[in-house]
Structure 1
């Protein structure tokens, strides 16, 4: 079992420092490059490209070339070891899944968990961050209660989290939060990038407020 008191790896540390993983999900990944530019300009430093988006692997490769080294690019909805291998070959520096059960990976892997038993099993397996999913229906109080007996577990709630909930989750003990639709909205499918910028600034400000 990995010593959970040890410092986080550089990728996970970047996610923890930023407090936000922007989840990019759309029918196609064609709009992800423009969305990424806006998010990064607002201060978001971690982007998750979901493999359910057509062209996701090409988008990961393109974003790695497009963005600075200070931004980490990962793959989401990774369900199989073949998915993971393809994503890493495309340039993903972290992997996120709604479930657990993948084999050892060459980059940080954040499995999904819901119950205390699942969370603890992922923790014992040595994963640096654990995706609490779907988190929206549970609420920050669930995380606070969970961290009572499991204070060393580093948890990233994702799914159904609104911008107004960010500070509440971080105050309850989240290392970071995953934000999809409430942050990205329709910006990846032709929606307003100006509105996206406003939402991104609001999200980054919420992290700063929670940690002030």
Structure 2
């Protein structure tokens, strides 16, 4: 299976940090990628950060093609300019989309203090659960970074699936799901290459080894 991850769609606002703006893709590229995977059940789609383009651009295009996706929301940004509101998150869920946690402040989950772990993995999830009035059981690691302590905490807190950004194939039933995050300079042709990569191999040994080692750090 191949997991594709999007962030913002369109032109990033001026106040978007440079490290996040580097992952915004233009709307035409986004639509072309959706057309590539429209009939590919082996491709899973997700969106990080909770930008308003999730609702205004991504959702209509997904609904038009009958595709579902998971949206990983930064709880601490709810209602801020450029970010989804509580009502927007509920609208995504009503449309059949999944909603997961991307933490509270979009900070890396490696080497956090106990208080920071609680804020990022517990309080952020609780805030989203209050918005949705249902359990939130999935998470995506901010900036794709993690270590064994992070993974152990997520397991202890009973997250049922955790997404990274390892640019590797994933087993459909794995707890840890590697993803290919699209960057601003990626094209639909690049994604087509990734899809051919998935057609050729179930899961490459090199991919398994690389992600395994990352989880031991």
TM-score, normalised to structure 2, is: 0.52
The equivalent of 1:157 in structure 2 is 163
Deviation of 1:180 (Å): 0.6
Gaps of 5+ in 1: 1-17, 102-110
Asked if the contact 2:5–2:48 (Cα under 8 Å) also holds between the matched residues in 1, the reply is yes
Deviations 1:88-114 (A, max 9, x none): 54747234564338xxxxxxxxx9882
Tell me: CA distance 1:130–1:73, structure 2 relative to 1, closer, same or farther (3 Å).
closer
Post-superposition offset of 1:35: 0.8
Q: 1:127 to 1:50 in 2, by over 3 A?
A: closer
**Structure 1 position 100 matched with structure 2 position 97:** no
For 1:73, the equivalent position in structure 2 comes to 69
Contact residue 46 and residue 72 of structure 2 kept, 8 A: no
Report the Cα distance in structure 2 between the residues aligned to 1:53 and 1:199, rounded to whole angstroms.
Answer: 32
SS of 1:206 mapped into structure 2: coil
Find runs of 4+ consecutive structure 1 residues off by over 6 angstroms.
53-56
Matched, 1:146 2:153: yes
Q: CA RMSD in A?
A: 4.3
Tell me the distance in 1 between the aligned counterparts of 2:137 and 2:54.
28
Give the 5 Å matches for 1:51-66. 57-66=56-65
Partner of 1:134: 143
Indicate yes or no: 2:206 matched with 1:206.
no
In structure 2, distance between residues paired with 1:135 and 1:54: 21
How many residues get paired? 165
* Deviation per residue, 1:55-75 (Å, 9 max, x gap): 8623320221113xxx42344
